[in-house]
Amino acid sequence: MADFKLIAEPRTEFGKGAARRTRRAGRIPAVVYGHGGDPVHISIDGHATMMALKHANALFEIESTDGAKNVLAIARDVQTDAVTREIEHLDLIIVKRGEKVEVDVPVHIIGESAPGTMVQQEESTILIKADATKLPEYIEVTIDGRAAGEHVLAGQIELASGIELAADPEMLVVNVSEEAEMDTESDAEETTEEAAEGEEAAEGEAEEKTEDE
């Protein structure tokens, strides 16, 4: 699990105008909350935050410039611009070492299913429970050699020690089915018919032109 340190500056101005000014300065408005404390409004470096969030369930160490005690936190809600995809606001929830939290973790499919099959990933993430400081970035699901009709349920996924499944064990994650066959003969017939119709239309236009002359 990757750890990222962010320097936080307290925010005293609020509203859309203040948020825009913060973002123009290359920082992201954020709020830190949890463990019974009052929410703390801060701003954090935009580039460093964006790079950290490329890692699912990144663990942040928040160091405040006002001398407050450093805290550990994970992103709970990331608001992005619909067009530019830039981060507009970030909610960070405080966690403690040894504390178990529930998070959605991306599922990565590895391997190749049996020849003549296709793989549908029904769920891109699964909900797990683990130590807040040891959250996995992703979970691998192996499909090597799986035949058509086979599937992988959440409860069948092997999880590392210390990680518990929080999702429904019966949730379908991966499904393997027969590969769809293309009707090449039918496609060829349709192409031939279209070509013949095109030739007939061209001949008709040529005859009409001759008669007009």
Residue 167 pLDDT > 90: yes
At residue 194 the predicted structure's pLDDT band, cuts being 50, 70 and 90, is: low
Tell whether 91 and 105 lie within a shared domain: no
**Lowest-pLDDT range of 123-127, 172-176, 196-200:** 196-200
Task: Give the residue from 95, 129, 146 where a domain finishes.
Answer: 95
Instruction: Tell whether 115 is covered by a domain.
Output: yes
> pTM for the complete prediction?
0.74
| pLDDT of amino acid 75 | 92
Instruction: Tell whether 204 is covered by a domain.
Output: no
* CATH number, domain containing residue 74: 2.40.240.10
Tell whether 120 and 145 lie within a shared domain: yes
* CATH number, domain containing residue 123: 2.170.120.20
Provide the residue range defining the domain that includes 41. Answer: 4-95
Task: Give the residue from 95, 130, 156 where a domain finishes.
Answer: 95
Tell whether 117 and 47 lie within a shared domain: no
Tell whether 9 and 53 lie within a shared domain: yes
Domain count along the chain: 2
Task: Find out whether 72 and 51 touch, Cβ atoms under 8 Å.
Answer: no
Mean predicted confidence (pLDDT) in 131-150: 93
Tell whether 132 and 66 lie within a shared domain: no
At residue 1 the predicted structure's pLDDT band, cuts being 50, 70 and 90, is: very low
| Long-range contact pairs involving 90-94 (C-beta distance under 8 Å, separation at least 24) | 90/28, 90/29, 90/30, 90/31, 90/44, 90/49, 91/30, 91/31, 91/33, 92/30, 92/31, 92/32, 92/33, 92/60, 92/62, 93/32, 93/33, 93/34, 94/32, 94/33, 94/34, 94/35, 94/37
Tell whether 128 and 73 lie within a shared domain: no
Contacts of 50 (CB under 8 A, 6+ apart): 87
At residue 212 the predicted structure's pLDDT band, cuts being 50, 70 and 90, is: low
Tell whether 85 and 109 lie within a shared domain: no
| pLDDT of amino acid 189 | 58
Tell whether 130 and 167 lie within a shared domain: yes
Tell whether 117 and 171 lie within a shared domain: yes
By percentage, how much of the chain surpasses pLDDT 70? 84
Residue 171 pLDDT > 50: yes
Residue 202 pLDDT > 50: yes
Question: pLDDT of 74-128, one tens digit each?
Answer: 998 898 888 888 889 999 999 998 899 999 999 999 999 999 999 999 999 999 9
Instruction: Tell whether 200 is covered by a domain.
Output: no
